[in-house]
């Protein structure tokens, strides 16, 4: 989108949301800012941001997301992003944030960055006890029962019992399937 903000301060913005990450070429015209959607299909975490920031023309890139947590925003800013925009921003605040970043500043909403880390659990994850969630996280990390037991300061038979209960609650028939389901519901 070009010249989205009409009036005396026009800001040229490129919104990257398609299947392919690309930086505007010279024939596209200069852009003041590239907005990169964190949830686009081939983003693969923050690697899309990393690829854009590594370009020789070093575009100003901001991450926009409706689902990313504060941890992701902090990593993006540490990597060199000029901002993080949650999709929950009002239109007025979005326009102001874009203008602010286009002027060379770094933007991240204070209430998002300093508020309590909130994360909604998938309904399947809500069925699990805190200990079962910890065991599931261990499974997603590829750890053995012995390693999980050591990490949680428990006995290995206790972990075996939690794994068996976990399988039943999430409908898994083996460790790999349990790890994939746990990762899918956000326990990784």
Q: Whole-angstrom Cα distance, residue 33 to residue 44?
A: 21
Q: Whole-angstrom Cα distance, residue 123 to residue 61?
A: 34
pTM, two decimal places = 0.52
**Cβ–Cβ < 8 Å for 152, 161:** no
Structure tokens at 169: 């609650």
- Looking at residue 52, its pLDDT comes to 80
Stated length of the chain: 188
Looking at domain 13-114, its CATH class is alpha beta
Residue for token digits 């909403």? Answer: 109
**Cβ–Cβ < 8 Å for 49, 60:** no
pLDDT in tens, the chain (188 residues): 444 444 445 555 555 554 445 545 545 556 778 888 877 656 656 888 888 888 887 778 888 887 777 888 899 999 999 999 988 778 888 889 998 898 889 998 887 777 655 555 567 777 888 888 889 989 988 899 999 999 888 999 999 999 999 999 988 999 999 988 888 877 76
The region that residue 147 occupies, defined by phi over 0 for left and psi between -120 and 50 for alpha, beta otherwise, is: alpha
- Looking at residue 181, its pLDDT comes to 86
Which residues, at least 6 apart from 110, have a Cβ–Cβ distance to it below 8 Å?
none
44-64 burial by CB neighbour count: b if 16+ within 10 A, else e? eebebbebbbeeeeebbbbbb
- Looking at residue 163, its pLDDT comes to 94
- Looking at residue 6, its pLDDT comes to 43
- Phi, psi angle pair for 34, to nearest 5°: -115, 120
What is the CA angle 21-24-26, rounded to 5? Answer: 150
Q: Whole-angstrom Cα distance, residue 175 to residue 184?
A: 14
- Looking at residue 3, its pLDDT comes to 45
Strands (E), the chain: 13-16, 33-37, 61-65, 83-86
**Cβ–Cβ < 8 Å for 112, 73:** yes
Identify the CATH number of the domain defined by range 123-184. 1.10.10.10
- Looking at residue 19, its pLDDT comes to 47
Q: Whole-angstrom Cα distance, residue 165 to residue 181?
A: 14
Domains of the chain, by residue range, sit at: 13-114, 123-184
């Amino acid at each position: 989108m070009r010249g989205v903000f009409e009036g005396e301060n026009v800001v040229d913005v490129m919104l990257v949301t398609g299947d392919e990450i690309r930086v505007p070429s010279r024939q596209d015209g200069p852009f003041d800012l590239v907005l990169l959607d964190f949830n686009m299909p081939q983003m693969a975490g923050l690697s899309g941001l990393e690829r854009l920031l590594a370009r020789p023309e070093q575009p100003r890139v901001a991450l926009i997301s409706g689902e990313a947590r504060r941890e992701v925003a902090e990593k993006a800013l540490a990597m060199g992003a000029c901002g993080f925009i949650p999709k929950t921003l009002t239109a007025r605040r979005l326009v102001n944030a874009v203008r602010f970043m286009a002027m060379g500043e770094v933007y991240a909403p204070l209430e998002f960055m300093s508020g309590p880390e909130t994360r909604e659990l998938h309904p399947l994850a809500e069925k699990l006890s805190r200990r079962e969630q910890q065991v599931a996280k261990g499974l997603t990390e590829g750890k053995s029962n012995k390693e999980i037991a050591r990490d949680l300061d428990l006995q290995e038979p206790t972990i075996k019992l939690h794994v068996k209960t976990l399988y039943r609650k999430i409908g898994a028939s083996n460790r790999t399937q349990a790890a994939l389901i746990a990762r899918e519901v956000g326990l990784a």
